[in-house]
């Protein structure tokens, strides 16, 4: 048996290991809500003592203030489930609840980023050329793929490609083994954008190659989410990387300033090499993702490698994010890269991104398109299941019209409250005919849709509010590519390691999950 234990001598580090967890909790929305609740309770108690004679007037003010807040809420563009959550908060803590709602909706601290993102997307609307003849071929196809391309290009530049070879990795360690030799081949540039980087065997192995490539003149850039500066990496980690020849940035680093921008995290996983090879999927750069260390049992994750023209879409997505903080945005030198792909691969690939700063819920729309067009089956792997009404309805409707809808979720959760929320959907979904399974060996972090042996999505987009509404995300939609049977085979092989959720198991669920799931439903869109 292979020994996956990590020895300190195996790990190449730039910084000392650090403790994690507490600061991430402090900067979470849940913590802010609890803090606001405590503040209002203290204010109310103080007002009782100090303004006892004037309290009837204060109560009238609260009533009027609450009504105004509710009117403002119902005239907003948010979905119905989010409105109900805000109603619950406003009913309990009217003043701070309305203030927090107004703060969130006005996006104070976020307007500059929104303008910059809009500018970059507009600037690159035609940055990538649609390969000739591909759209015309798909227009004659009944799959609806061409309609999806039209929708995706409303919010960015997302061509559909037919000269791309797609390789699916059923485990994080499989993807890790494949990306190391691809990094070694880099001649021009390596662009990396990941939600999580944690020093250990995986990142250390990659970092050694990056340093060597940077010394040899390769343009090496690393970007990670700024929340890491309060969890896995020190605040000066970008400087440490730059000292080793690697350009580095933290997206939206945490500052001692309250801003709604912290709500929008960079959850994407992108690795592009020379514009010819791209990786994406659920795999972050930390040792649990390749099962070198164990956190929640066996870590089931997946990845995707694209070789060919479609890799340029991930180059563009990376450069759009990188240029948010650049004075002058530059794209062209890295986009004009010939794919020189041998042979003619089968099928079509559409890489796409989802930006939380526009009005398009791209990630959810793609998933719903698959559910609504499915004929035989839709098989899904996701770590979280926190659904809005539209997506829950789409899942149920697909099952009710005879489509085999199956979901695989974790058997060992990483977040018990999120797991409780997932279980709160089980009864309604199972009653509608959706089949739900839990992966008994451990935690499922894969984000996969596969349908009818001809469609699939692999990327970073979870079935929860954070991914669908609040995060920068990315994925690859595939139609009739050669790797789709591999994705479905992996689903079936994973399925035999799962326990099925039944009406009986739902009835006998632990009291904690039942109670927590019911209570957390009130604030599910805020998690």
Cα-based distances in Å from 415 to 41, 195, 374, 450, 527 = 28, 17, 31, 26, 11
Asked if the structure places residue 393 within a domain, the reply is yes
CA dihedral angle for residue 44, residue 49, residue 55, residue 61, rounded to 10 degrees: -30
What local confidence, expressed as pLDDT, does residue 287 receive?
96
Say if residue 321 is in the same domain as residue 455. Answer: no
Task: Pick the range with the lowest mean pLDDT from 88-97, 138-147, 489-498.
Answer: 88-97
Q: How confident is the model at residue 49 (pLDDT cuts 50, 70, 90)?
A: low
What local confidence, expressed as pLDDT, does residue 34 receive?
65
Q: Which of 301, 291, 286 is nearest to 445 (CA)?
A: 301
Number of structural domains, the chain? Answer: 3
The residue from 40, 72, 106 where one domain ends is 106
Alpha helices by DSSP H, listed for 216-356, are 237-243, 311-322, 332-335
Say if residue 369 is in the same domain as residue 514. Answer: yes
Is residue 62's pLDDT more than 70?
Answer: yes
Is residue 355's pLDDT more than 50?
Answer: yes
User: Quick one: angle between helices 29-50 and 94-106, nearest 10?
Assistant: 140
In this structure, the chain runs to a length of 527
The Cα 124–Cα 135 span in angstroms is: 20
Phi-psi bin for 275: left (phi > 0), alpha (psi -120 to 50), beta?
A: left
Alpha helices by DSSP H, listed for 244-388, are 311-322, 332-335, 362-373
Domain range enclosing 155: 8-15+111-350
Tens of pLDDT, residues 63-110: 777 787 778 777 776 777 777 777 777 777 777 777 777 767 666 666
Say if residue 338 is in the same domain as residue 373. Answer: no
Tens of pLDDT, residues 458-473: 999 999 988 998 899 9
Is residue 30's pLDDT more than 60?
Answer: no
Mean per-residue pLDDT of the chain: 87
The helix (H) or strand (E) run that includes residue 430 is helix 416-431
Say if residue 338 is in the same domain as residue 445. Answer: no
Q: How confident is the model at residue 39 (pLDDT cuts 50, 70, 90)?
A: confident
Say if residue 122 is in the same domain as residue 93. Answer: no
Average pLDDT over residues 13-22: 62
Asked if the structure places residue 1 within a domain, the reply is no
pTM, entire model: 0.86
Residue 376 has a CB neighbour count (10 Å cut-off) of: 11
Between 104 and 27, residue with greater pLDDT: 104
Is residue 319's pLDDT more than 50?
Answer: yes
What local confidence, expressed as pLDDT, does residue 96 receive?
72
The Cα 310–Cα 303 span in angstroms is: 16
Q: How confident is the model at residue 507 (pLDDT cuts 50, 70, 90)?
A: very high
Is residue 2's pLDDT more than 50?
Answer: no
What local confidence, expressed as pLDDT, does residue 525 receive?
67
Q: How confident is the model at residue 508 (pLDDT cuts 50, 70, 90)?
A: very high
What local confidence, expressed as pLDDT, does residue 295 receive?
92
Asked if the structure places residue 250 within a domain, the reply is yes
Ranges 33-37, 38-42, 184-188, most confident: 184-188
What local confidence, expressed as pLDDT, does residue 74 receive?
76
Say if residue 226 is in the same domain as residue 293. Answer: yes
Asked if the structure places residue 298 within a domain, the reply is yes
Say if residue 94 is in the same domain as residue 209. Answer: no
Average pLDDT over residues 249-271: 75
Phi-psi bin for 143: left (phi > 0), alpha (psi -120 to 50), beta?
A: alpha
Say if residue 191 is in the same domain as residue 118. Answer: yes
What local confidence, expressed as pLDDT, does residue 257 receive?
47
What local confidence, expressed as pLDDT, does residue 65 receive?
74
Q: How confident is the model at residue 255 (pLDDT cuts 50, 70, 90)?
A: low
The residue from 106, 134, 164 where one domain ends is 106
Q: How far apart are the first and last CA of the chain?
A: 40
Q: How confident is the model at residue 57 (pLDDT cuts 50, 70, 90)?
A: low
Asked if the structure places residue 176 within a domain, the reply is yes
Asked if the structure places residue 355 within a domain, the reply is no
Percent of the chain with pLDDT over 90: 61
Owner of token pair 């070879």: 165
The residue from 350, 377, 403 where one domain ends is 350
Average pLDDT over residues 226-240: 83
Asked if the structure places residue 421 within a domain, the reply is yes
Say if residue 132 is in the same domain as residue 273. Answer: yes
Q: Which of 288, 270, 299, 287 is nearest to 194 (CA)?
A: 270
Say if residue 150 is in the same domain as residue 135. Answer: yes
What local confidence, expressed as pLDDT, does residue 207 receive?
96
The Cα 112–Cα 118 span in angstroms is: 10
SS3 call for 506: helix
Say if residue 168 is in the same domain as residue 237. Answer: yes
Q: What is the CATH number of the domain that holds 255?
A: 3.30.870.10
Q: Which of 207, 190, 211 is nearest to 198 (CA)?
A: 207
Say if residue 372 is in the same domain as residue 473. Answer: yes
Asked if the structure places residue 356 within a domain, the reply is no
């Amino acid at each position: 048996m292979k020994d996956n234990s990590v020895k300190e001598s195996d790990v190449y580090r730039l910084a000392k290991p650090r403790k994690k967890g507490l600061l991430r909790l402090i900067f979470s929305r849940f913590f802010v809500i609890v803090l606001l609740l405590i503040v209002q309770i203290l204010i109310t108690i103080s007002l009782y003592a100090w303004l006892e004679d004037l309290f009837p007037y204060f109560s009238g003010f609260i009533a009027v203030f609450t009504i105004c807040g509710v009117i403002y809420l119902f005239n907003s563009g948010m979905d119905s489930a989010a409105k109900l959550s805000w109603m619950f908060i406003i009913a309990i803590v009217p003043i701070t609840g309305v203030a927090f709602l107004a703060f969130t909706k006005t996006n104070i601290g976020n307007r500059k980023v929104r303008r910059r993102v809009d500018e970059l997307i507009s600037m690159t609307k035609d940055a990538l050329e649609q390969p000739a003849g591909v759209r015309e071929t798909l227009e004659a196809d009944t799959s609806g793929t061409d309609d999806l391309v039209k929708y995706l290009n409303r919010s960015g530049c997302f061509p559909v490609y037919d000269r791309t070879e797609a390789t699916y990795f059923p485990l994080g360690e499989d993807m890790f083994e494949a990306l190391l030799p691809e990094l070694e081949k880099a001649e021009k540039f390596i662009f990396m954008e990941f939600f999580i980087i944690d020093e250990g065997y995986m990142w250390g192995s990659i970092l050694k190659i990056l340093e060597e490539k940077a010394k040899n003149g390769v343009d090496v850039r690393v970007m990670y989410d700024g929340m890491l500066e309060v969890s896995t990496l020190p605040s000066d980690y970008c400087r440490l990387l730059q000292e080793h020849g690697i350009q580095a940035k933290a997206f939206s680093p945490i500052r001692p300033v309250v801003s709604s921008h912290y709500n929008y995290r960079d959850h994407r996983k992108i690795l592009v090499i020379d514009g010819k090879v791209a990786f994406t999927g659920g795999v972050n750069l930390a040792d649990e993702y390749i099962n070198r260390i164990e956190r929640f049992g066996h870590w089931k994750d997946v990845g995707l490698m694209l070789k060919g023209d479609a890799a340029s879409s991930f180059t563009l997505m990376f450069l759009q994010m990188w240029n948010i903080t650049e004075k002058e945005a530059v794209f062209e030198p890295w986009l004009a890269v010939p794919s020189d792909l041998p042979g003619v691969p089968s099928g079509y690939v559409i890489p796409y991104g989802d930006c939380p700063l526009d009005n398009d819920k791209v990630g959810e729309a793609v998933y719903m398109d698959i559910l609504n067009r499915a004929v035989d089956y839709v098989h899904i792997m996701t770590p979280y299941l926190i659904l809005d009404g539209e997506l829950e309805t789409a899942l149920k409707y697909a099952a009710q019209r005879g489509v085999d809808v199956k979901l695989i979720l974790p058997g060992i959760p990483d977040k018990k409250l999120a797991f409780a929320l997932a279980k709160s959907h089980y009864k309604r979904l199972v009653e509608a005919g959706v089949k739900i399974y839990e992966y008994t060996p451990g935690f499922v972090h894969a984000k996969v849709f596969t349908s009818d042996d001809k469609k699939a999505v692999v990327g970073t987009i979870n079935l929860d509010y954070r991914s669908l509404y609040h995060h920068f995300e990315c994925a690859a939609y595939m139609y009739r590519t050669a790797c789709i049977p591999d994705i479905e085979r992996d689903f079936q092989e994973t399925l035999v390691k799962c326990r099925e959720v039944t009406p009986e198991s739902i009835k006998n669920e632990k009291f904690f999950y039942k109670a927590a799931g019911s209570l957390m439903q009130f604030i599910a869109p805020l998690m």
